[in-house]
Amino acid sequence: MKRALLATLLLGLVANACKTTPDYGNPLDEGAPALLPLGPTDKLPDFSQQWKQRDQLLPALENSLAWTRREHARQFFPIAGIDHGRALASLERFHELLSASYGPDDFQESIEKEFQVYKSAGWNGRGGGVLFTAYCTPILRGSLQPDEEFRYPLFSLPPDLVKGRDGGVLGWDSPRGRLPQYPARGAIEASGMLAGRELVWLADPIDAYVAHVNGSAFVELADGTLFRVGYAGKNGRPYTSLGKELESDGVIPRGKASLRTIRAWAATAPPEVLRDYLGRNQSFVFFAPIEDNPHGSLDVEVTSGRSLATDKALFPRGALVFAAGPSEEPTGNRFLFDQDTGSAIRTAGRADLYLGIGAESEEIAGNTKFEGQLYYLFLKSEPDPVDGLE
């Protein structure tokens, strides 16, 4: 009996040892596909209930359509085996189905019949799953002029940052000539090289960090007006998560890092310690004033609960996607559109949902974290040439 019990315990230990902890930051092997087509025997998600939310889907869908119809969009295709014509025709047909379907069941049947569903290769390259988090547009206190309270600026895009047509950073036109990399965060802040490019000043370095992570912010000025800034570019350096660094060093217990716990820590941290942790993130984001709501990397307005940020080196821009998560997850199990990217979203195992503007959105976004599957939907057959390009 004891021997049998020991054998059972050993088998359990071996089984646990063989389990692999997902590394969502794991890059795909070179040449590996980012999208895996589902076969005829693979179970599809339940899309039917999304038909009831078609009014919520339309604004984001129309933004994706507007971008994909631009002549400029052609340069980003083909990608992941999807060409521009198929991407555009898929969005147009989905738009038709939202209005033409008789109900949820008819909607589901039409999608299954007409669309090929692909699964993201995920963290392990075999569809192992995607870690979904969320972001928002925070409302922060600030001033258009610096003073003793407002000392932490957000900067506009500098002219010496060299970018390619796709927005990727090609280098730095430094005083010594063209260099292959733009300076990292620490060098930018220590050198004062961006003096004169300040757009707005904030009261708290963590507020500036939040603006950089989210890529946009609404800044409330003393007179109550909102100064709106959106993403304009970045320095091209690698992103390091402040929360992960604090957890790794034991400053915050593992699994407990959130915007709330980070703010609580920062409120009492010595300035030099706070500066050191913030400087570990080499990535630096630049901003531009905007007149309306925030835009994503496609330069179309992002829609709360319907816009998604993914790695644009892997996935088709503007595409129709479905985020499948646990049934109890309020932000999962819905259609979205791939309209943005982010410094931390750099693999097939990560995706970021946009959840809107203000404190409530910030609270929800800070607590959104779940593993699920990310699906892309494209028409099965090659479409005829599509007119209407701008």
Q: Which tens digits make up the pLDDT trace of 179-227?
A: 899 999 999 999 999 999 999 999 999 999 999 999 999 999 999 999 9
Within this chain, do residues 152 and 253 fall inside the same structural domain, yes or no? Answer: yes
Within this chain, do residues 163 and 284 fall inside the same structural domain, yes or no? Answer: yes
- In a domain? residue 175: yes
pLDDT at 134: 94
Within this chain, do residues 183 and 245 fall inside the same structural domain, yes or no? Answer: yes
Determine the Cα–Cα distance for residues 309 and 214; give it in Å rounded to an integer: 11
How does residue 4 score in pLDDT terms, banded at 50, 70 and 90? Answer: very low
pLDDT at 111: 97
Structure confidence by residue, pLDDT tens digits, 269-301: 999 999 999 999 999 999 999 988 899 989 899
Instruction: Compute the average pLDDT of residues 90-115.
Output: 97
Strands 350-357 and 307-309: antiparallel
Structure confidence by residue, pLDDT tens digits, 127-136: 999 999 999 9
pLDDT at 329: 87
In a 3-state reduction of DSSP, which class is residue 48? helix
Within this chain, do residues 200 and 219 fall inside the same structural domain, yes or no? Answer: yes
pLDDT at 138: 92
Assign residue 374 the CATH number of its domain: 2.40.40.10
Nearest to 291 by CA among 199, 357, 208, 218: 218
Within this chain, do residues 243 and 154 fall inside the same structural domain, yes or no? Answer: yes
Within this chain, do residues 143 and 129 fall inside the same structural domain, yes or no? Answer: no
pLDDT at 387: 52
Within this chain, do residues 333 and 315 fall inside the same structural domain, yes or no? Answer: yes
pLDDT at 133: 93
**Final residue of a structural domain among 289, 313, 330:** 289
Instruction: Compute the average pLDDT of residues 348-368.
Output: 92
pLDDT at 384: 44
User: In the predicted model, is pLDDT for residue 77 greater than 90?
Assistant: yes
pLDDT at 108: 97
pLDDT at 283: 95
- In a domain? residue 24: no
User: Helices 259-268 and 359-366: crossing angle, nearest 10°?
Assistant: 100
User: In the predicted model, is pLDDT for residue 350 greater than 60?
Assistant: yes
**Final residue of a structural domain among 289, 318, 335:** 289
Within this chain, do residues 231 and 161 fall inside the same structural domain, yes or no? Answer: yes
Q: Residue ranges of the alpha helices (H) in 73-138?
A: 84-100, 104-114
Instruction: Compute the average pLDDT of residues 306-323.
Output: 97
Contact call for residues 357 and 218 (beta carbons, < 8 A): yes
pLDDT at 378: 99
Structure confidence by residue, pLDDT tens digits, 140-176: 999 999 999 999 999 999 999 988 877 778 889 888 8
- In a domain? residue 273: yes
**Final residue of a structural domain among 289, 307, 329:** 289
Structure confidence by residue, pLDDT tens digits, 219-253: 999 999 999 999 999 999 999 999 999 999 999 99
Helix (H) or strand (E) holding 116: strand 115-120
Within this chain, do residues 285 and 175 fall inside the same structural domain, yes or no? Answer: yes
Determine the Cα–Cα distance for residues 194 and 156; give it in Å rounded to an integer: 9
- In a domain? residue 332: yes
How does residue 367 score in pLDDT terms, banded at 50, 70 and 90? Answer: confident
- In a domain? residue 95: yes
User: In the predicted model, is pLDDT for residue 330 greater than 80?
Assistant: yes
Within this chain, do residues 360 and 277 fall inside the same structural domain, yes or no? Answer: no
pLDDT at 219: 97
Contact call for residues 181 and 236 (beta carbons, < 8 A): yes
Q: Residue ranges of the alpha helices (H) in 269-334?
A: 271-279
Higher pLDDT, 376 or 7: 376
| DSSP 8-class letter at 2 | H
pLDDT at 82: 97
State which residues form the domain around 200: 136-289
- In a domain? residue 17: no
Determine the Cα–Cα distance for residues 369 and 386; give it in Å rounded to an integer: 39
Within this chain, do residues 278 and 332 fall inside the same structural domain, yes or no? Answer: no
pLDDT at 390: 54
User: In the predicted model, is pLDDT for residue 376 greater than 50?
Assistant: yes
pLDDT at 116: 98
Structure confidence by residue, pLDDT tens digits, 13-63: 444 444 567 889 889 999 999 999 999 999 999 999 999 999 999 999 999
Using the structure block, give the residue that is written with the tokens 């034991």: 250
Q: How many domains does the chain have?
A: 2
Mean pLDDT of the chain: 90
Within this chain, do residues 126 and 140 fall inside the same structural domain, yes or no? Answer: no
How does residue 259 score in pLDDT terms, banded at 50, 70 and 90? Answer: confident
